[in-house]
Amino acid sequence: MEPQIKEEEQEEERPNPQKLLWMFTLATIMKLLLIPSYHSTDFEVHRHWLALTSSLPLHQWYSDSTSQWTLDYPPFFAYFERLLALFAPFIDPQIAHLHNGLNYAAPTALLFQRLTVIASDLCLLYACFRLRTRPGVGLDSWRADLIWVLLVFSPGLLIVDHVHFQYNGFLIGWLLVSVSAVEEGRDLVGGFVFAVLLCFKHLFAVAAPVYFVYLLRHYCWRRSGGGVVEGFGRLLKMGFVVGVVFGVAFGPFLYYGQVLAIINELFEPFWGLCHAYWAPNFWVFYIILDKVLAVLLTKLGFTIPASSASFTGGLVGESSSFAVLPKITPLVTFLLVLCAMSPCLIKIWREPRPRLITRWVAYAYTCGFLFGWHVHEKASLHFVIPLAIVATESLADARHYFLLSIVSCYSLFPLLFEAKEYPIKVLLLLLYSLLMWSGFTQQLRKLQTSTSSAKKGDKGRSRKGTGGTKVEGGGTLIGWVGMSYLLGLLVVEIWGQFLQPYLLGDRWIIKCP
């Protein structure tokens, strides 16, 4: 009877997909309530791409200049827009009209576009569903619930996708499916899905070195044996799978001689070092240092040429020139990203462990965010969302994710600059912070309880919590350093939003061209 009781207890502790469905339904209701809110120029960008792909033959997709918003995503995303265009005429035919639809933002267009983003989040739902059985982790019910909450109710995704307007949930869903397949030891499937993701959005290629080194070491050149011939055979198999994906994506354009046009759009030569909305990365400090040095040297009598363009313009031209410090080129940023990523790549080569692939991918995207060229502030989602998966594995991971997710969401606040959206972004961040605090503190209590039980039962056993979660002793979720940082953000927000406009008005506001 005792084994039967244990089996029943284990059955009760397994993740329940029905809970995920309820969470996703609640999140969908929130997204529907956000439909009337502000939308950025990305709304018109995607509407125009939809019209472009439905109105023109394939060989003109990447060369059309009807609008300034030219198609600059890889072919799979263009095919995705073409698929959406099949349904647009049933709502409003003008949505898919190439010329009459320019800057068209009627309520019907807004409703249709918003619903396409919500529907595409089914990919994220599927990715969350797959995570319920992460191998080697022993994902029990309460940990699965917490991970699902962190992913489904991410305020960053809600702000960027369902207010500002983009399809990040759809794309990150593909990424999570890929890493979950690799964690399961299905390297070929993981490589295939990642190749598909790259053909949807090339900016995800920042993690390509991680995938390349891992798959080469773990799938092709295994320590467990197999020989050179077998390893070479697996390399050919992986290369064939990836080649087929890129062949399907780029093949039709290769036939029409449009591949160079695609490359020119994907790697636009007029992009600048910084995006119009700065990502809070290394280059912010580099630019500030250049400005400070220019002012100091000018006061000392040196002649310092003034920059002819703003660094916040988002275009390159002279905007990437510096007054004092050396000019930064895309090659420099590429080498910096690769150097920052190199410790991770070396570790992968020495010990390619499937369970760590999510951490390694998140680390790669962090390096790209910190040192990359023309980094969007929204790129923080590429590493914050995957880190939610490992946030329940240790107290250190919970602390890291708690602070990082709050800072990442706060850095997205400038995207919603209208007064009516201010309560929305603040409430989304506060509610998510409360969810994290509640979930992680419950996790901490469970870990402490299980550790105490383990000590009493077996002093020689390693200190681990339920589901393989590590416990590094006691402690709180956030220390005084993290708390001071968050309080600093609160002070900055109160000053910038309330005190500065009241006390100084717009006298000290720098308006960028």
- Residue where a domain stops, chosen among 327, 358, 385: 327
pLDDT value of residue 487 = 93
Residue 208: which H helix or E strand, with range? Answer: helix 208-214
The reply to whether 291 and 348 lie within a common domain is no
417 in a domain, yes or no?
A: yes
Closest CA to 258 of 95, 62, 496, 108: 62
384 with 297, same domain: the answer is no
Number of domains in the chain: 3
What confidence tens digit (pLDDT) does each residue in 252-308 have? 999 999 999 999 899 876 677 887 667 788 998 898 898 889 889 888 888 877 665
Q: Encoding tokens for residue 172?
A: 């990150």
H and E: helices and strands count for the chain: 22, 0
Q: Is the pLDDT of residue 353 over 50?
A: yes
For residue 82, pLDDT over 60 is answered with yes
User: Does residue 48 belong to any structural domain of this protein?
Assistant: yes
How far, rounded to the nearest angstrom, does the alpha carbon of residue 290 sit from its chain's CA centroid? 30
Looking at the domain assignment, is residue 484 inside a domain?
yes
The verdict on 194 and 128 lying in the same domain is yes
Regarding whether 212 and 113 lie in a shared domain, the answer is yes
Q: In this model, does residue 404 exceed pLDDT 80?
A: yes
The residue among 363, 352, 361 whose CA lies nearest residue 194 is 361
Are residues 287 and 317 part of one domain? yes
- Measure the CA–CA gap between 190 and 54, rounded to whole angstroms: 31
Residues 47-65 have pLDDT tens digits of: 999 999 999 999 999 999 8
Joined tokens for residue 80: 């995705």
Q: So what's the pLDDT on residue 513? A: 38
In percent, the amount of the chain with pLDDT more than 70 equals 84
Considering 293, 309, 327, which residue would you say is the last residue of a domain? Answer: 327
Same-domain check for residues 338 and 318: no
Q: Do residue 312 and residue 354 come from a single domain? A: no
Does 120 map to a domain?
A: yes
**Which has more confidence, 169 or 442?**
169
Torsion on CA atoms 446, 448, 450, 456, rounded to nearest 10:
-160
Same domain, 289 and 225: no
Per-residue pLDDT of 217-239, as tens digits, reads 999 887 655 677 888 899 999 99
Say whether both 500 and 425 belong to one domain: no
Domain assignment of residue 271, yes or no: no
Q: Is residue 272 part of a domain?
A: no
Q: Residues 82, 207: one domain?
A: yes
* CA torsion angle 230 231 235 237 (round to 10): 30
Residue at 92 is within a domain: yes
Give the pLDDT score at 461. Answer: 46
Residue scoring higher pLDDT (510 or 259): 259
Residues 74 and 145 in one domain: yes
Q: Which residues of 51-71 are buried (b: 16+ CB within 10 A; e: fewer)?
A: bbbbbeebeebbeeebbebbb
Q: Which amino acid is at 176?
A: L
In a domain, 266, yes or no: no
If asked whether residues 239 and 367 sit together in one domain, one would say yes
Name the domain boundary from 302, 327, 352: 327
Q: Provide the domain limits for residue 493.
A: 479-513
Cα separation, 59 vs 206, whole angstroms: 28
Q: What is the pLDDT of residues 326-348, one digit of tens each?
A: 888 889 999 999 999 999 999 99
- pLDDT (mean) for 389-418: 92
Whether the per-residue pLDDT at 313 is higher than 60: the answer is no
